[in-house]
Structure 1
Amino acid sequence: MTGSASLTRLEWSARRYPVYLFFQKASYWGPIFFLYFSSLLSLSDVLLLESIYYITVVLLEIPTGYLADRVGHRRVLIGSSIAQMTACLAFVSSDHFSVLAFGQIMLATGMALGSGSDTSYHFSVLAALGRSDEYGSREAKAARSLLISQATSALIGGAVATMDLRVAYLFTMASSLVAFAIAAGFLDVTVESSPRKSMVSQIGSCLRDATHPRLAWAMAYFIFMTVINHIPHEFYQPFLKTLILEHATDISTPLTIGIHTALTMGVATIAAAISIRIRDRIGSSSTLLLAGLIQTVIISGMALSTSPLIGILLLLRSIPRGLIQAPLNAEIVPLVGKDRRATYLSLQSLMGRLAFGAVLLAFSMFFDGNEIAAPIGVSMTGAAVGLLLLLALVPLSKSSN
């Protein structure tokens, strides 16, 4: 391929990256997955399914990140779309626990293949174009595209689920097919030749990167936010279902949750769009801690009250995601060696998912029945303590900057 043709493909890849995210991250099943699983299984089995998902991601995070750094991010992104389509097919084809568990494993595989590889590819394309300084602002646009996707897919998914909960998974499968086609058109961006490292050696290099004070704090922050961001995500469906049953029994639960999720993502889209401006105004650490505070307040509201007002508060639950994606990536990616960015981000994601998988497993072991108040109460305390610790460690994270 000629230089001009490669440049054209690079430009196309940079422009299409947010479109790829739009289709790959569309989660039509998002508003109904807990309802769907709980319609087939007990709460303990549903939580076990969720722990299977997170533990699988734990097992695959580093190998898939290493694979992306070795064979190229484009191929791994294509594999991510294929795995997601396979997962959706499993979910709609059977109500047996074993098949649903296989679906969770494939969904986790798709997530692990994309984790770190997508944003690493984005940075590599911009660097190849000589525009790496645009990464932060372009990541904010990509985050906005992702959240718009999740808003629209939640609304549509909730609506079509009123016919059959499985239809939401079919919509997701179709969206993943479009993402597959876009990723297939991306241009491979190769890193300058360097000695090939074993996965163990690559992990060692990433761990040395993580000793940088700022990266160490960012790693701890990412783990903390992975856990607390997922608490409302896991429990808002049964929480809203309880509110609906108490206050408006004639309203369709899937459609209501779909509308609620769409509004939630719409609010988060605004947060993502202005996240870099907020960072530039108050600083990275303050922006990230603000996101943690918002989520802690939301979890506390869920733990302390079942008022309809908490249903309104839950509309803010994805604001932290919108606020942190671009500023956090802009902090981390430039500080990591270019031959191991996907591996490092996968290692970071692994730590977060391992932490939350352990939390889910503990919840399934220690809390019986279908009551969600106890695990949410424990989460409230943990979130408050974690946020205070991160605040105290901010000065140390800047010691070498």
Structure 2
Amino acid sequence: MARDLRLFYLFRLLATSYLWVPIFVYFFESRGLQWSEISILGAIYCGVVILVEIPTGAFADRIGRRRSMMAGTLAMVAACVTAYFAHGFAAFAIAEVLAATSMSLCSGADSAYLFDLLVDNGRADEYAHHEGRASAWHFAGQTLAFAAGGVLAEIDLALPYLATAAVSAAAFGVALLMDGERAAIVSRPLRPAREEARAYFRHMRESLRAARSNRALLWVIGYAAVVFALLKAIAYLYQPLLKAQSFGYAEVGFIFAGVYAVASFVAHQADALRRQYGEDVLVWGVLIALAGSFLLLGQVRSEWVMMLLLVQAIATGLYSPLVKPLLNRQIASSDHRATVLSIESIAKRSFMIGAVFLPIAASYGPAAALYWCGGVGLAGFAVLAAFGRAAPLSGRGAVFRAVVPEDSVPALSGDPPCPSK
């Protein structure tokens, strides 16, 4: 198992090391796009994720997590090459479709792969620890990628896209070397396409039913949607904000790298922070800090901007190690794990389209968008607090145990039962 864990960490480091993140707004503008068009591209990305998320999650559940992760890295290679040659809104929309497909193929599948790897080796209680570590590797990869992307942008704004294609190809090679798929997944026989499609839809319905019947899971999904939308808005709003402060491409890249270096450190310490302060304090603290920092970013200048970016970096580092264990503790059947995580992703993206991308596309620019995001955070806090009794949060010093599938968990109709290992 140690070898697979090392490869998994390396995959997390490479798979989302997108060198174009610190400069993509500048790149789009250099190719003639307006702020409203850039925001609409973000909405298209989220819309595609919503359309393909459950099918790709079911693909990962039934065909294999590792295979889904490999397909995702290849889709990102195609997305970056398309963006490199793109001129105009339509071509960039195609690149966004490919990028969204890439994310969907990896989303849920990677966390489900890690969880099942630990379950199969009798170490499910260590999931929160390893998820935090994997998140730290993920942020470390982004830190290096963002710094390099800013430097490459000084030469040519399109170069970070070619570099990202190469890194994604390397992630494909790492996934190819990984092992440890659950036998029940990889050993299922192939069936006729019509029968396979029926099984997919049946699998999706059962996963949706499981999600709807769990109030605690719904609360976690709602929380994840609000915080995720605010964190993703950061990538769109930092660039015009820093441009207004007269920072160059390389400097913006290093600032992004600094933010994610802090996030990497915080993610690595997330398990210890959870045990010391409790999930309740951290979960509410992240949301309040994000909402307040967005409201203040529109008011302050120079060194105070850097301080608020630090606050958001801490929230970024805590998000995944907090939310993913909360979600996985509410999912009893491994057969539905990746699909339920994909349902969570659909909820996040839907919220982001309706509450962030479409409103800021119609706004008066990035400055107004900062205030809007702050308001979304405060409104989200109020709604979640109103339904706080459903929150599955533990206090200080709690021991966190994952939900491990029992041998008696029924398989899907028509599928062989999952053997214990």
TM-score (norm 2): 0.86
The 3-state SS of whatever aligns with 1:339 is helix
Deviations along 1:291-335, whole A, 9 cap, x unmatched? Answer: 112211221112334555224422332322311212322222143
Query: Judging changes above 3 Å, is the alpha-carbon distance between structure 1 residues 295 and 17 closer, same or farther for their aligned structure 2 residues?
Result: same
How many Å separate the matches in 1 of 2:64 and 2:392?
A: 33
Identity of aligned residues (%): 26
1:377 is the counterpart of 2:371: yes
Residue in structure 2 matched with residue 99 of structure 1 by the alignment: 91
2:388 aligned to which of 390, 394, 400: 394
Residue 158 (structure 1) aligns with = 150
CA contact (8 A) 2:135 2:320 kept: yes
Q: Is the 8 A contact 1:191 1:338 kept in 2?
A: no
User: Equivalences for 1:2-401 in 2 at 5 Å?
Assistant: 10-40=1-31, 41-190=33-182, 192=184, 198-210=199-211, 211-244=213-246, 253-336=248-331, 337-363=333-359, 366-367=362-363, 371-398=365-392
- Cα distance in 1 between the residues matched to 2:306 and 2:275: 32
Moved more, 118-127 or 383-392: 383-392
- Equivalent residue for 2:404? none
- 1:361–1:236 distance in 2 versus 1, CA, 3 Å: closer
Offset of 1:262 from its aligned partner? Answer: 0.7
Gaps of 5+ in 1: 1-9, 245-250
Q: Find the residue that maps to 1:335 and give its secondary structure.
A: coil
The aligned amino acid for 1:373 is: A
Q: Are residues 256 and 263 of structure 1, via their aligned partners in 2, closer, same or farther at CA, if it must alter by over 3 Å?
A: same
Unaligned runs of 5+ in 2: 190-195, 394-400, 402-421
Q: Say which is worse superposed, 38-47 or 84-93, in terms of deviation.
A: 38-47
Quote the Cα distance in structure 2 between the aligned partners of 1:54 and 1:179. Answer: 23
Given that residues 240 and 311 in structure 1 are in contact (C-alpha distance below 8 angstroms), is that contact kept between their aligned partners in structure 2?
A: no
Note closer, same or farther for the CA distance 1:137–1:361 as it changes in structure 2 (3 Å cut): closer
1:130-179 alpha-carbon deviations (Å, 9 max, x no partner)? 21111110111101000111111111110111000111111111111110
Question: Residues of 2 paired with 1:361 and 1:329: CA distance?
Answer: 24
CA contact (8 A) 1:69 1:342 kept: yes
Query: Which position in structure 2 is the counterpart of 1:247?
Result: none
Shift of 1:209: 2.9
Across the aligned residues of Structure 1 and Structure 2, the Cα RMSD in angstroms comes to 2.2
Q: What do the CA deviations read for 1:270-292 (whole angstroms, capped 9, x no partner)?
A: 21011111111222232211111
**Aligned residues of 1:54 and 1:353 also touching (Cα < 8 A):** yes
Decide whether aligned partners of structure 1 residues 364 and 374 sit closer, same or farther in structure 2, where only a CA change above 3 A counts. closer
In the aligned structure 2, how far is the partner of 1:335 from the partner of 1:386?
21
Distance 1:339 1:289 in 2: 31
Q: Distance in 1 between matches of 2:215 and 2:274?
A: 19
Deviation at 1:228, TM superposition (A): 1.4
CA distance in 2, matches of 1:132, 1:306: 46
In the alignment, residue 317 of structure 2 is paired with which amino acid? G
2:82 aligned partner, one-letter code? A
Amino acid at match of 2:22: P
How many residue pairs match? The answer is 383
Aligned-pair CA distance for 1:374: 2.0
Q: Is this contact kept in 2: 1:303–1:373, CA < 8 A?
A: yes
- In structure 2, the partner of 1:3 is none
Cα drift, residue 360 of structure 1: 4.4
Counterpart-to-counterpart distance in 1, 2:165 and 2:361: 33
Structure 1 length normalisation: TM-score? 0.90
1:199 Cα shift? 3.3
Whole-angstrom distance in 2 between the partners of 1:54 and 1:335: 25
In structure 2, the residue corresponding to 1:95 is in which secondary structure?
coil
1:376 to partner: Cα distance: 2.0
> What is the distance in 2 between the residues matched to 1:363 and 1:136?
35
Shift of 1:183: 0.4
Amino acid corresponding to residue 164 of structure 1 in structure 2: D
Aligned residue type for 1:341? R
Corresponding letter in the other structure for 1:207: L
Equivalent AA in structure 1 for residue 378 of structure 2:
A
Cα distance in 1 for residues equivalent to 2:372 and 2:154: 33
Which region of structure 1 is more displaced relative to structure 2, 288-297 or 101-110? 288-297
- Output the CA distance in 2 between the equivalents of 1:191 and 1:232: 40
